Structures are given as C-alpha cells and as structure tokens.
Copies of this chain bind each other. A is one copy, B any other.
Amino acid sequence: MKTTSGTVSIDGIDKTILRALMEDARTPILEIARQVGISGAAIHQRLRKLEKSGLIAGSKFVINPKVLGYTTMAFVGIYLDKAMSNPEAVKQLKKIPEVIECHYTTGNWSILIKILCKDNAHLMYLLNKDIQTIKGVSRTETFISLDQQIQRQINI
C-alpha cells in the first residue's frame, strides 16, 4: 500500500528501510535487503530516491551529554522588548553553545530555547551572564527538565 503525505509517497519497503536507519544509521544495506527480501542494489536505489526527495535530512551520531558532565537540561522562555528584533536575538543566542534549540513561539514569550549545561550553577551563569545580558531581553522563565521521559522522531 502506498501512502501519500505531503509531497512524497513511500511504500512499505521504504518504511522498513527508514525505520532501520532511523534506529541505527549504520545498519548495512544488505541486512535491510535480507529483511525485506529484495536485493541490496534495490535498497540502494530507494535510498538515493529518498535522499533526493529531501525526506532524509542527514545522519548523525548521537552523543550522551551526561558522560561529558552535562547533566542539566532546561527550557527558557524569553520575553523580548518590542524594539528588539527576533533575528538579532537569535544571532546572539547562536553564540552560546549551550543553547541547543531555539524556537520562535506563539504565546507568552517571543522565544523558547532549550539549553544543556553541567549543573545548576552553570545554568545560573548562562542565564545571568549570557542570556539576560542580550540587548532586548527583558525577562526569562526557566523550566528545568528533571527527567526526559520520551525522545523520538516522527513515526514512519
């Protein structure tokens, strides 16, 4: 059965390929081939098609930050002065490596960021010295993630 979503249509074989590689980017093509019962060359062609379609954005090694001592994750809602442009604030936030996500959001804040730091002292330092000193930032609200209980990608 083919499913058309957005602009790309993928069938069951494509889904099997994607699921395997979303789990482990280094799954051998030949292993997937055996699993779905077609040749490695066919899997390879399908992968090229999926890459060209833009569905596959890339592949990444996932690093465990805790092993490097980064044990504290937090979300920070940022209020911006009307005078402060969002792009200018984002430009400053990009300079802070601990900021791993930044969203332009509806609701109370102008910006919602996710930050990864070593401990609460580190978090406090980032808030006081790096974030609240950005021109246009009037106030912040911090939510510490005590535990991340779900982490996954879109369901294929």
Q: Which residues of B contact A109 (CB under 8 A)?
A: 143
Residues of B within 8 A of A152 (CB): 100-101
Known: A90-B149, A105-B144, A150-B102. A56 touches B60 (CB 8 A): no
Cβ-defined contact, B66 with A56, below 8 A: no
Cβ of A83 within 8 Å of any chain B Cβ, yes or no, is no
Chain B residues within 8 Å of A7, by CB: 67, 69
Number of identical protomers: 2
Given contacts A25-B61, A100-B153, 14 further A-B contacts (CB under 8 A): A5-B69, A6-B67, A6-B69, A7-B67, A25-B25, A26-B26, A53-B67, A54-B64, A55-B64, A60-B153, A97-B155, A101-B150, A103-B146, A103-B148
- Could you show 8 A-B contacts with beta carbons less than 8 Å apart? A18-B63, A55-B64, A60-B62, A73-B103, A93-B150, A104-B147, A105-B144, A107-B143
